[in-house]
Amino acid sequence: MGKLNRKKNKYKEVRFKLSAKQMKSLKNYCRARKTTPIKLIKKSIRNYTDNFSEEVPRKYYATANQLDIFNESTGNKTLDMF
């Protein structure tokens, strides 16, 4: 029997910066939960990385109405509460 040819996994690198306070909090949380920061981050984003690899369902797309609240050209509309 010869060696099996396995498909090599391709990985992409993602970088982001945390403040010193955020990093300290992350390390403290990981120490308390007996895990590593990488495992924690991967577990946190697993729902987004596993379920949408082929296509994103229509219900997750932002509609035009949702984006209107950020337009400054809507005039001087104010909300009066009292």
Confidence of residue 65 (pLDDT cuts 50, 70, 90): low
The pLDDT tens digits for 4-60 are: 888 888 899 999 999 999 999 999 999 999 999 999 999 999 988 888 878 888 888
pLDDT on residue 28: 97
* pTM exceeds cut of 0.85: no
DSSP string of the chain?
-----PPPPP---------HHHHHHHHHHHHHHT--HHHHHHHHHHHHHHHTSS---GGGSPPHHHHGGG-GGG-S------
Report, as an integer, the average pLDDT of 52-78: 70
pLDDT on residue 3: 75
